[in-house]
Chains A and B, each alone.
Chain A
Amino acid sequence: MSSQVSLCGIGKVFRGTGQEVVALEDISLEVNAGEVLMLVGPSGCGKSTLLNVIAGLESADTGDVLLDGKPIHGPGPDRAVVFQDGALFPWLTVRKNVEFGLRQLGVGEKERTQRASAFLERVGLGGFQDRNIHELSGGMRQRVAIARALVTNPKVILMDEPFSALDALTREDLYDQMQELWRLSSTTVIFVTHNVREAVVLGDRIVLMTPRPGRIQRVYEVGILPPRQIDDVDVARLAKRISMDLKFGIGVDDAAVAR
């Protein structure tokens, strides 16, 4: 596999009132085309900041983000983002929300409607196209957000803790759907979460990050055949190993090897 996203020595410092916080320090990583990469770590480890840098919503102080070998400049439709709160637009219906990105790209009305419907169908919301956003449950909203991200056929989808506000049952339901979606599409996914089990269930590879300064602690190959369930023994075993590493901070020295 060829690498699609390359992070080369990304560093970022937040300057607050009188103090500096090193959010990211020398992050280098290759993300392969079609792979689902999970960024995992405790809060404050800079994983969301890293995602924003890749999205182009924030700029890094040092280093480069390369997409297919070319440095990125600001946000763009080749990198779709699924936000934690979904960031759906309440003044538009479900389908118009999904059409939004296509409209920005100048896609004609007929094709827009067609594609939006197809992707809503794919996330199981075919019957909710003309609803208002507030009529949907939290899980349904995130599915709309995912359809909105997929519909423009981006190279990379960036997901920022999209399921963290959902209840456990809804979440597990979405894990199944996500694995099915990834199987059908060849889009590269970079997924931020603080939930280690979620990372093992959904990811091909897991990057564990440590806080202050935000660094890569260790990279894990998941290597468990999908579809995976949250309570599979193999999933639990790997999740436990990662949790231990996260808790005790071991494996930091291995980071160099993993790179």
Chain B
Amino acid sequence: MKWARTVGFYLVLVLLWEAVARRHIWDPMLFPGPSKVAGTLWDIGRDGTLLNATAVSLRRVFLGYGISMLLGLPLGILLATNKWVDDTLGSLVSAFQSLPSICWLPLALLWFGLNDRAILFVVVMGSLVSITAAVKDGVRNLPPSYLRAARTMGTPSWRVYTEVLFPASQPAILTAAKLGWSYAWRALMSGELLFVSLGLGHILMMGRELADMSRVLSVMIVIMALGLGSEYFLFRPMETEVRRRWGFAA
């Protein structure tokens, strides 16, 4: 039933789009129908362009996102639990958060040149700060009685992190992970759009340069599909588990 609703919705959407496109209200060059876009998708899919670009982009986003998670998690927990770190690094994190990730690109290009490391830097700067901030907020909102209870049961303070803080923060960490993922993905796309770099953003920009709207649209669809796929296969199972355990409404 749920599946039928979802599939039905997209079916209607595509049919509507095709119907509007066939009326030729706008130039078909600028408003191609889904059949045309599907053809282009098939073409760039078959000649390997799409696969290569997707592989390049995914590698970058996983690498950048991985680094951000690895740094952001402990940093967030540290900011929430240590007054010293919060008083010093805390405001810097807030300041960085107000900076759109793409603002780091000029700096990255000057430091690293036109290469993968510059892109990676932009991705990390885009997601690290949001992950850190979300983890910090989550840890800070934990009921203080968890820590007090652990202390009365003899948990030494150095083990409080692994025994209580980290497991108790799982819902917050999951939120941070999802947020960080979407920030990483956006940072990557804006980075790839702005300079020649292989990747999905690059073939999207190529579509513009060739005035090939159906290519632009097909790459956009691929990007959306990847986002949806990561939501379904990466985060949904973890989220279900946390909800089951904590008893959050589904």
A residues with a Cβ closer than 8 A to B are 55-57, 74-77, 79-81, 83, 85, 87, 89-92, 100-101, 104-105, 132-135, 148, 152
Contact = CB atoms under 8 A, between A and B. Distances in A.
Nearest to A83: B145
B153 A152 contact: yes
A56 B153 CA distance: 12
Given A91-B167, A135-B247, A85 B152 contact: no
Interface in B144-167: 145-146, 148-155, 159, 163-164, 167
B143 interface: yes
B148 A57 contact: yes
B244 interface: yes
B148 A85 contact: no
B154 A91 contact: no
Nearest to A158: B152
A259 B152 CA distance: 29
Given A91-B167, A91-B168, A132-B245, A85 B145 contact: yes
Contacts of B143: 85, 87
Contacts of B155: 104
B246 interface: yes
Contact of B152 (A79, A89, A105): A79
B154 A90 contact: no
B190 interface: no
Contact of B246 (A57, A79, A91): A91
B247 A57 contact: no
B172 to A, nearest CB: 12
Given A80-B153, A101-B153, A152-B153, A132 B148 contact: no
Interface residues of B, number: 21
B170 interface: yes
Contacts of B163: 100, 104
A55 B152 contact: yes
B86 to A, nearest CB: 21
B246 A134 contact: yes
A134 B246 CA distance: 6
Contacts of B167: 89, 91-92
A132 B243 CA distance: 11
Interface string B129-148: 00000000000000101101
Q: 8 tightest A-B contacts by CB?
A: A134-B247, A87-B145, A101-B153, A77-B154, A87-B149, A104-B154, A91-B167, A81-B152
Contact of A91 (B148, B159, B170): B170
Contacts of A81: 148-149, 152
A92 to B, nearest CB: 8
A89 B164 contact: yes
19 contacts: A75-B151, A77-B152, A81-B149, A81-B152, A83-B145, A87-B143, A87-B145, A87-B146, A87-B148, A89-B168, A90-B247, A91-B170, A91-B245, A91-B246, A100-B163, A101-B154, A104-B154, A104-B159, A132-B246
A251 B155 CA distance: 43
A74 B155 CA distance: 12
B247 A132 contact: yes
A100 B247 CA distance: 20
Contacts of A75: 148, 151-152, 154
A135 B245 CA distance: 9
Contacts of B153: 77, 80, 100-101, 104, 148, 152
Contacts of A104: 150, 153-155, 159, 163
Find the residue from B146, B153, B168, B246 having the highest chain A CB count within 10 A. Answer: B153
A133 B245 CA distance: 8
